[in-house]
């Protein structure tokens, strides 16, 4: 009698704790964050993971009554690894949402999986326009290169620049930057003398910079992905374009806030167009920058951090709206048209394209209090990706 009671008690305890564990697993929503934490794009991983952790620390890791678990995985910037990790996260971890994607090829490698598994994937960094066409489960909180580039081309034509040379990195976002700059600069009456492309891996810019200088354009337009700006600007400085009367213009990827302070005076006066500057004047940005720096030993957030912060914010808002995270199709539907105030300014998700609609700013690098900043001069409000606009 007594033994039976004990046995019953033990069984009850066993099944009770098993049931509780199962219930607990169901109460947890997992977000799989795939980032290049090592390798040439490690700064992207460092920035986005720090921003995602900050969001959870600020808002609490709970949404729609369930706790949120962030699983951060390093793909080292290699597309095959991104794909394999994405599969593991979906099949083994049963993540509700995938996020991250530090480079265009890493996002593209995951497209078919998101379709098969019906799992939303929030693109926080990669910025080639075509990405969102590859899966209806892709939603983007970074930007597109065409979105950032056409304001620079129009600004140049309006400010006395009649001839230009373009120099970009030879892959998706570089082609987008080059095509967009040429299209809009020529439309505005400018002439492009040559379009040069440097390889993505182990970039060496000096031969291209010399060629650009020899062509004597009014301006040299530059794009390199986040993490390569400092190396590029060092070589730009050695070529003394200013003395040759050649103006340097670029997308904000080149004057990345993660590296800008280390570039030195060569960056001073550089005009760029982009969606985020750490110097953006708004209460939301001031609060974001202060909290980010406090949580990360004074590290400055860059545009990648903001793409990550907003990406987690969007995921939370969508789960809240739907009430749970079980149905990926419903989550994507909830993300469409979502609008909020980001540290970068007002943003929304274009319901047609799942790309982000945002302000693009014309900025100038200035020194203040001994530090370099992308100071915003002009705002082009509510910019959509122009490639999708023209379709
Ligand atoms: C990209 O690979 O899409 C990419 C990466 C870094 C950037 C911009 C675009 O700064």
Question: And the tokens for 205?
Answer: 């810019």
| Residue-by-residue pLDDT tens, the chain, 391 positions | 455 655 555 555 555 554 444 445 568 999 999 999 999 999 999 999 999 999 999 999 999 999 999 999 999 999 999 999 999 999 999 999 999 999 999 999 999 999 999 999 999 999 999 999 999 999 999 999 999 999 999 999 999 999 999 999 999 999 999 999 999 999 999 999 999 999 999 889 999 999 999 999 999 999 999 999 999 999 999 999 999 999 999 999 999 999 999 999 999 999 999 999 999 999 999 999 999 999 999 999 999 999 999 999 999 999 999 999 999 999 999 999 999 999 999 999 999 999 999 999 999 999 999 999 999 999 999 999 999 986 5
CA–CA separation, 290 vs 385, rounded Å? 30
pLDDT of residue 390: 67
**What angle do the packed helices 42-59 and 303-322 form, to 10 degrees?**
40
Q: Helices (H), strands (E): how many in the chain? A: 13, 15
CA–CA separation, 22 vs 17, rounded Å? 9
CA nearest ligand 1 atom 3, residue: 126
CA nearest ligand 1 atom 7, residue: 225
Which atom from ligand 1 is nearest to the alpha carbon of 102? Answer: 5
Ligand 1 site, residue 104, Cβ cutoff 6 A: yes
CA–CA separation, 258 vs 212, rounded Å? 27
DSSP string, 5-45: HHHHHHHHHHHHHHHHHHHHHHTEEEEEEEE--SSTTHHHH
Ligand 1 site, residue 41, Cβ cutoff 6 A: no
pTM for the whole thing? 0.93
Q: Report CA(142)–ligand 1 centroid distance (Å).
A: 9
pLDDT tens-digit profile of 352-390?
A: 999 999 999 999 999 999 999 999 999 999 999 999 986
pLDDT of residue 17: 52
How far apart are the two ends of the chain, measured CA to CA in Å?
A: 79
CA nearest ligand 1 atom 6, residue: 225
Question: And the tokens for 156?
Answer: 């140049």
Ligand 1 site, residue 258, Cβ cutoff 6 A: no
**Ligand 1 test: best mutation among 127, 128, 230, most atoms within 8 Å of CB?**
127
Question: And the tokens for 20?
Answer: 């509780």
pLDDT of residue 239: 95
Ligand 1 site, residue 135, Cβ cutoff 6 A: no
209-214-220 Cα angle (round to 5): 50
**Ligand 1 test: best mutation among 82, 226, 304, 374, most atoms within 8 Å of CB?**
226
Q: Report CA(125)–ligand 1 centroid distance (Å).
A: 6
Ligand 1 site, residue 148, Cβ cutoff 6 A: no
Quick count: other Cβ atoms within 10 Å of Cβ 159? 13
Q: Report CA(390)–ligand 1 centroid distance (Å).
A: 22
Ligand 1 site, residue 176, Cβ cutoff 6 A: no
User: What percent of the chain has a predicted confidence (pLDDT) above 70?
Assistant: 93
Residue written as tokens 């892959």?
171
pLDDT of residue 21: 47
Ligand 1 site, residue 127, Cβ cutoff 6 A: yes
Domains delineated in the chain? 22-143+282-354 (3.40.50.2300), 146-274+360-389 (3.40.50.2300)
Q: Identify each DSSP E strand in the chain by its residue range.
A: 28-35, 62-63, 66-74, 97-100, 121-123, 138-140, 163-169, 191-198, 219-223, 247-251, 271-274, 339-342, 345-349, 356-368, 371-383
> Residue 319: is it exposed, middle or buried by C-beta count within 10 angstroms (0-12/13-18/19+)?
buried
Q: Report CA(278)–ligand 1 centroid distance (Å).
A: 18
Which atom from ligand 1 is nearest to the alpha carbon of 303? Answer: 10
Ligand 1 site, residue 128, Cβ cutoff 6 A: yes
pLDDT of residue 18: 46
Which atom from ligand 1 is nearest to the alpha carbon of 105? Answer: 2
Ligand 1 site, residue 103, Cβ cutoff 6 A: yes
Question: And the tokens for 184?
Answer: 């809009």
Mean pLDDT across the chain: 94
Q: Is 322 helix (H, G, I), strand (E, B) or coil?
A: helix
Ligand 1 site, residue 253, Cβ cutoff 6 A: yes
pLDDT tens-digit profile of 267-283?
A: 999 999 999 999 999 99
pLDDT tens-digit profile of 60-106?
A: 999 999 999 999 999 999 999 999 999 999 999 999 999 999 999 99
Q: Report CA(92)–ligand 1 centroid distance (Å).
A: 29
CA nearest ligand 1 atom 2, residue: 103
Ligand 1 site, residue 225, Cβ cutoff 6 A: yes
């Amino acid at each position: 009698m007594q033994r039976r009671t004990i046995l019953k008690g033990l069984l009850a305890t066993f099944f009770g704790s098993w049931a509780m564990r199962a219930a607990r697993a169901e109460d947890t929503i997992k977000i799989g964050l795939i980032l290049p934490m090592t390798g040439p794009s490690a700064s992207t991983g460092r920035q986005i993971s720090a921003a995602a952790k900050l969001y959870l620390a600020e808002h609490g890791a709970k949404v729609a009554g369930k706790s949120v678990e962030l699983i951060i995985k390093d793909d080292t910037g290699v597309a095959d690894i991104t794909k394999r990790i994405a599969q593991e996260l979906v099949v083994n971890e049963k993540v509700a949402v995938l996020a991250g994607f530090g480079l265009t090829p890493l996002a593209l490698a995951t497209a078919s999986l998101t379709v098969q598994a019906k799992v939303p994937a929030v693109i926080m960094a990669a910025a080639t326009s075509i990405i969102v066409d590859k899966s209806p489960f892709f939603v983007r909180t970074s930007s597109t290169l065409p979105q950032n580039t056409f304001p620079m081309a129009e600004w140049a034509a309006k400010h006395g620049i009649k001839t230009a040379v373009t120099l970009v990195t030879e892959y998706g976002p570089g082609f987008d930057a080059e095509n967009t700059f040429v299209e809009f600069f020529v439309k505005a009456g400018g002439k492009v003398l040559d379009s040069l492309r440097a390889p993505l891996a182990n970039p060496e810019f000096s031969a291209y910079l010399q060629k650009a200088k020899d062509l004597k354009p009014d301006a040299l337009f530059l794009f390199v992905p986040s993490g390569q700006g400092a190396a590029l600007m060092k070589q730009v400085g050695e070529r003394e374009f200013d003395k040759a009367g050649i103006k340097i213009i670029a997308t904000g990827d080149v004057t990345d806030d993660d590296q800008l302070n280390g570039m030195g005076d060569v960056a001073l006066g550089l005009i760029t167009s982009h969606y985020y500057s750490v110097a953006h004047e708004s209460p939301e940005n001031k609060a974001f920058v202060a909290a980010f720096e406090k949580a990360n030993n004074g590290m400055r957030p860059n545009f990648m951090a903001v793409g990550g912060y907003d990406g987690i914010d969007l995921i939370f808002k969508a789960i809240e709206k739907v009430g749970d995270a079980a149905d990926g199709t419903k989550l994507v539907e909830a993300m469409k048209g979502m609008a909020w105030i980001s540290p970068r300014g007002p943003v929304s998700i274009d319901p047609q394209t799942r790309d982000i609609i945002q302000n693009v700013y014309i900025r100038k690098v200035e020194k203040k209090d001994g530090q370099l900043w992308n100071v915003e001069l002009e705002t082009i409000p509510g910019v959509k990706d122009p490639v999708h606009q023209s379709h």
